[in-house]
Amino acid sequence: MKIVEETPYRFRIEQEGAMRVPGIVFASRSLLPDEYGDMALAQVANVATLPGIVRASYAMPDVHWGYGFPIGGVAATDVEAGGVVSPGGVGFDISCGVRLLVSDLDRQRLQPKIRAVMDRLDVAIPRGVGTKGVWRLPNRGALEDVLTGGARFAVQQGHGVARDLQRCEDGGMLQGADAAAVSERAIERGLGQIGSLGSGNHFLEVQAVERVYDAAAATQMGLSEGTVCVMIHTGSRGLGHQICTDHVHQMGNAMGRYGIQVPDRQLACVPARSPEGQAYLAAMAAAANYGRANRQLLTEATRRVFEQETTTSLDLLYDVSHNLAKIEEHPVDGQTRTLCVHRKGATRSLPPHHPDVPADLAAVGQPVLIPGTMGTASYVLAGVPDNPAFYSTAHGAGRVQSRHQAARHTNAEALSRSLEDAGILVRGKSRKGLAEEKPEAYKDIDAVIQTSHLAGLARKVARLIPLGVVKG
């Protein structure tokens, strides 16, 4: 593999063998994965072999090894020219994403009540492996309304306000969802989990704005130094996982009919316009809507806690997925093409005045929400014009240790004490889950954000620090 440094924040993997396009890695030298000890760069090259891929196989600054695609991978295929869709380019947690709630509290006013708030959230937020959610759905018909309506259906049922939908990607509902494309097993797994965090790196975090980089954008977003916010990171739970499992298997069996060969079976794919491709996109959209409704329900549970403990309200700044494939139009070689844009561990980052940016944020650009770890900062960025990667950027810090490695060398109780000594209250569901997510298991979030900023993927607006975290 030949890697060429194009700029201090952009590296090119030269096209060779079956690669149809080069690989482009947005990273500093310190963030660039080791090509010998980390398979992420090999995965970037593998993705470059997919039928119909255009421009390049992209890797974001937080890139690390994943299933088929690297986490932090972006790839677009030309659907009118046989371009494929691959479940591995979305991942198992379909529509895993982040939303940020903004209060009218400042950190000093919250401080005397922070323990009470965290204790209430500890009770109010269901989480952990297999946990039941806050919304009891009686049957498949009720779940189908969620799968087709997303956050919009949740708001219609009284779980939120109309303004929430204006601040959600796609208005809170991804078009094209078909509950009939979702297997019975996926339905079974989804019925009881709506309105729950899950486990792993999912969290609900109370934060405060520590620093503002772009005063005009921050003001428009309701952010100033000291502002208390709540960040929610979760996805489509077991339902999304099952949909990915189902369609990886189906596509693996179907590839031969389309004459498709891939270097890794985890890249199972079919033409996006094929019956199998359309079935996956319909099921994926249903899972995306489940994920959006899930975050909406958790938002309402959080709002109730803040109203009870602080008599303050929480307004939604934005909700955006970072595991999704979407049909979008982009210029390629001077022509507008219809593309299937895979973003796996990558956040959409639309520029100012893009038609899909909320009208009241048009001059600012889409808010881009990038969480750090339990003990480190998170960031709000904004989209910029001329983003070179189909309007995409990083989604988090990016792992440098597996969960097993992190847990093996970490005492969860000591970790919790050290975080509390640093002023971060932790409410964890499991010691093992806490140890797996120790801050040292991830890359330096500040370096990831700086690279995103300097590589032209997004611009910095504000840095947020954790005050308390609820973990699965």
Q: Consult the annotation and say whether 172 binds a ligand.
A: no
Residue 202 assigned to a binding site: yes
User: Among 434, 420, 417, which Cα is nearest to 472's?
Assistant: 434
Is 200 among the annotated ligand-binding positions?
no
- CB 203, CB 81: distance < 8 Å: no
Q: Is 203 annotated as a binding residue?
A: yes
Burial class, 285, CB count within 10 angstroms (exposed 0-12 / middle 13-18 / buried 19+): buried
Annotated binding residue at 395? yes
Is 468 annotated for ligand binding? no
Q: Which amino acid is at 219?
A: T
What does each C-alpha distance from 197 to 1, 56, 325, 350 come to in angstroms?
40, 34, 22, 27
Query: Are 353 and 363 contacting, i.e. CB atoms less than 8 angstroms apart?
Result: yes
Q: Does 323 count as an annotated binding residue?
A: yes
153: annotated binding-site residue?
A: no
> How many Å apart are CA 291 and CA 164, to the nearest integer?
15
Look at the block and give the residue holding tokens 């297997």. 183
| Residue 395 is among the residues annotated as catalytic for this protein | yes
Beta bridge partners of 77: 53, 340
233 labelled binding-site residue: yes
Q: Is 186 annotated as a binding residue?
A: no
Residue 93 labeled ligand binder = yes
Q: Is 226 annotated as a binding residue?
A: no
Bridge-based pairing of strands 23-25 and 57-64 is parallel
Is 471 one of the annotated binding-site residues? Answer: yes
404 is in an annotated binding site: no
311 belongs to an annotated ligand binding site: no
The catalytic position among 241, 247, 395, 453 is 395
CB 254 within 8 A of CB 278: no
- To the question of whether residue 201 is assigned a binding role by annotation, the answer is yes
**83 assigned to a ligand binding site:** no
Sign of the torsion angle spanned by Cα atoms 245, 249, 250, 256: positive
Binding residue ranges for Mn(2+) = 93, 202, 233, 322
Catalytic positions, written as ranges = 395
Binding residues for GMP: 201-205, 322-323, 371-374, 378, 395-398, 471
Task: Detail the residues annotated as belonging to a binding site.
Answer: 93, 201-205, 233, 322-323, 371-374, 378, 395-398, 471
